[in-house]
Amino acid sequence: MADGKPKVVGFCCEKHGMDSAVLAARSGKQFDASVRLVQVPCAGRVDGMHLLKAFEDGAEAVFVLGCLEKNCYYDTGSIEGRKRVNYVKLMLAEVGIEKERLEMFNAASTNAWAFPEIVSKMVDIAKKLGPIGGGGTQ
């Protein structure tokens, strides 16, 4: 990160994940610009590889945002997403990367307050922990 510009990536499902981000934006909520959203059809589509590659490509914090569990548009997708995140957290711990950099969140399309809180939480983590390994990323 340079000059207080942390790099945060969020994999959002195109159903309630994106809907909650859209509602927050349409309710006038402001949040840090450093978050980059990548849309996926379902949180269950997210592969461990995507999360690890995001860190490799310079992300300092990564999150996955899906529908509330038991309310996933595809029934079990957000639960699958959480499994993937938990699995990759273990892998991060093994290679000495802080587990907090990766997180799973759930939101509903009516939670206008949720998305800004998620962004601010992950941006804070990225700012606090800095680039991975301490040295520069590209």
Partner 1 sequence: MKQVLVIGGGPAGLTATKSLVDRGAEVVLVEKKESLGGMARELTCKGLVECRNCGVCFAIDRANDVLRERNAEVHLLSEVMSVQKSDHGYSVKIKTSPRYVTEDCIGCGKCVVECPVEGKAIFPPTGNGQPRIHWIERGKCLHFKKAKCEKCSSVCPTKAVDYEDRARNVIRNVGAIIYATGIDPIDACEMSRLGCGVLDDVVSSVDAERILNETGKLVRPSDGKAPKKIAVMQCVGSRSVKTGVEYCSKFCCKYATKISQLLLDIDPEINLDFYFVDLRTLYEPQDEFKAWAKAKKTVKLIRTMPAVVSPGKDGKLLVRAATENDLEITETEYDLVILSVGMRPAGANSELGKSLGIAADQTGFAPGGPELEGKGVFVCGAVTEPMDIEETASRAVAAASKIYHMKEEGA
Partner 2 sequence: MKAKIQVVLCKCCTEMPALLNMERLQRLAAESNNVLSVLTVDAVCDGKDLAAVVTDAKDKEIDRAVVLACHKKDISPALFKAYKRAGVNEFLVELVNIREEVVLPHTNMPEKAQAKAEAKLKGALARSVMLSPLERQTEEMKTRNVVIIGAGVSGQAAALEASKTGVHTILLEKTGKTIKAPGVIVTHGQLLGASGYGGNYQLKIKAGEKVEELGAAAVVIATGGGWTTLKGSLAKAVRDALPLYKFYEQMQAGSAPKSPVIIVDTPDPAGKTLKVQDYAWDDTLETAIELKKKLPETQVFVVFQEMRAFGLSELAYKEAAELGVKFVRYDTAGTPKIDSKNPTTMSVKDLAQGEILNIKFGTLVFASIPPNQDNKAIADALRIPMSVDGAIRRGSIQRWPVSTPRPGIFVCGSALFPKAKDVAEAEGMAAGAMAGEFVKRGRIEFGGIVAQVTQEKCSACLTCIRTCPYEAPFIGTASKAEIRVQACQGCGMCVGICPSKAIELHNYTDDQIMEETRVLLGGDF
Which residues in this chain contact partner 2 in the complex, by CB under 8 A?
2, 5, 7, 9, 14-16, 18, 21-22, 24-26, 28-31, 33-34, 36-38, 40-42, 44-47, 49-50, 53-54, 57-59, 67, 70-77, 80-81, 84, 109, 116
Q: Which does 40 bind (CB under 5 to 8 A by kind): partner 1, partner 2, none?
A: partner 2
Q: How far is the CB of 75 from partner 1 (least distance, A)?
A: 11
Q: In the complex with partner 2, which residue's Cβ is closer, 56 or 99?
A: 56
Q: Which stretch binds partner 1 (CB under 8 A): 33-41, 62-70, 87-95, 128-136?
A: 62-70
| CA–centroid distance for 14 within its chain | 14
Q: Which stretch binds partner 1 (CB under 8 A): 18-26, 49-57, 89-97, 129-137?
A: 18-26
Tokens representing residue 107 in the block:
């939101």
Q: In the complex with partner 1, which residue's Cβ is closer, 68 or 91?
A: 68
Give the whole-angstrom CA distance, residue 32 versus residue 123: 7
Give the whole-angstrom CA distance, residue 134 versus residue 51: 19
**Do 40 and 46 form a contact (C-beta atoms < 8 A)?**
yes
To 10 degrees, the CA torsion angle through 109, 112, 118, 124?
160
Q: How far is the CB of 35 from partner 1 (least distance, A)?
A: 18
Please name the residues in contact with 84: beta carbons below 8 A apart, sequence gap of 6 or more: 44, 46, 47, 48, 51, 64
Amino acid at 33: A
Q: In the complex with partner 1, which residue's Cβ is closer, 70 or 128?
A: 70
